Amino acid sequence: MTGVLGNGETSLYSDLYPVKVLDVSNAKAVYAGEDFSFAKTANGVKAWGSNRWGQLGVGDKIDRLIAHSVNSIVNTSVKLAPGGSCCYALLVRTDLYSSHVA
């Protein structure tokens, strides 16, 4: 597993109970892809989970077990649209960014 829960662990829980996503506070919205997620917060965008294709937009292909800041879209993101292995961010200035590296 790739940290899809954002709680610092790689295993999935067999019990059906929520776990805290680490390093996310004041979340305004949450977006989920196939095995990665984003949270829009008062301080910008956070991402965690699989980053096999670079879909987290953090500048590398390292999976994240806890949330990390997506510095390229801090405080400018209007909408996020994650897909199977990519994510789009529509910014205030109406530029459209995509992250997926083959």
Does the structure show a pLDDT above 90 at 66? yes
At 15-56, the pLDDT tens digits run: 677 888 889 988 988 988 888 999 988 888 899 999 998 889
pLDDT for the residue numbered 43: 80
Q: Where are the domains of the chain?
A: 27-99
Does the structure show a pLDDT above 60 at 11? yes
| Of 87, 88, 91, 69, nearest in space to 78 by CA | 91
